[in-house]
Chain A
Amino acid sequence: MTRMPAPIVSPTPAAPAPDGPDKITVKGLEFYYGDFHALTDVTVPIKSTAVTAFIGPSGCGKSTFIRCFNRMNDLIPGTRLEGKVTLDGQDIYAPGVDPVDLRRRVGMIFQQPNPFPMSIYDNVAFGPRLHGITKKSELDDLVRDSLDRANLWKEVKDILGRGGLTLSGGQQQRLCIARVLAVQPEVLLMDEPCSAIDPTSVQKIEDLMAVLKESITIIIVTHNMQQAARVSDFTAFFLQEVAGEAAVLVEYDRTTNVFTSPRDKRTEDYITGRFG
Chain B
Amino acid sequence: MSKRIANQIALALLWTSALTTVAVLFAVILYVVVNGIGQLSLGFIFTWPRGVNAEGGVWPTIVSTLYVTALAMVIVTPIAILAAVYLAEYAVQGRLVSIIRCAADTLASVPSIVMGLFGLALFVEAAHIGFSMLSAALALTFLMLPIVMRTTEEAIRAVPKYIRWGSYGLGATKWQTVRRTVLPAAMPRILTGLILATGRAVGETAVVIYTMGQAINMPVSPLDSGRPMTVHLYLLAMEGINLPAAYGTALLLMIMILGFNLSARYLLRRTRKV
A-side residues, CB < 8 A to B, are 70, 72, 75, 77, 100-105, 107-110, 112, 114-118, 126-127, 130-131, 163, 165, 176, 179-180, 183, 189
Contact = CB atoms under 8 A, between A and B. Distances in A.
A165 B167 contact: no
Contacts of B170: 103-104, 107, 126-127, 130, 179-180, 183
Contacts of A109: 169
A60 to B, nearest CB: 21
B98 interface: no
Interface string B221-242: 0000000000000000000000
Nearest to B92: A77
Contact of B169 (A107, A112, A118): A107
Contact of A130 (B92, B163, B165, B180): B180
B65 to A, nearest CB: 35
A180 B172 CA distance: 12
Contacts of B160: 112, 114
B166 interface: yes
A117 B168 contact: no
Nearest to B160: A114
B163 A114 contact: yes
Contacts of B180: 126, 130
B171 A131 contact: yes
A126 B177 CA distance: 10
Interface of B: 92, 160, 162-173, 176, 180-181, 184-185, 274
B207 to A, nearest CB: 36
Contacts of B169: 70, 72, 103, 107-110, 180, 189
A208 to B, nearest CB: 17
B171 A104 contact: yes
Contact of B274 (A77, A165, A189): A165
A116 B162 CA distance: 9
A130 B171 contact: yes
A107 B173 CA distance: 14
Nearest to B181: A116
B171 A176 contact: no
A112 B166 CA distance: 10
30 contacts: A72-B168, A72-B169, A100-B172, A101-B171, A103-B170, A104-B170, A108-B165, A108-B169, A109-B169, A110-B162, A114-B162, A114-B163, A115-B166, A116-B163, A116-B181, A116-B185, A126-B167, A126-B170, A127-B172, A130-B171, A130-B172, A130-B176, A130-B180, A163-B274, A165-B274, A176-B166, A179-B170, A183-B170, A183-B171, A189-B169
Contact of A110 (B166, B172, B176): B166
Contacts of A115: 166
Given A117-B185, A130-B176, A112 B162 contact: yes
Contacts of B164: 75
Contacts of A118: 184
Contacts of A183: 170-171
Contacts of B167: 116, 126
Contacts of A112: 160, 162
Nearest to A101: B171
**CB-based closest 3 A-B pairs:** A104-B171, A114-B162, A108-B169
A179 B171 contact: no
Nearest to B186: A117
B26 to A, nearest CB: 37
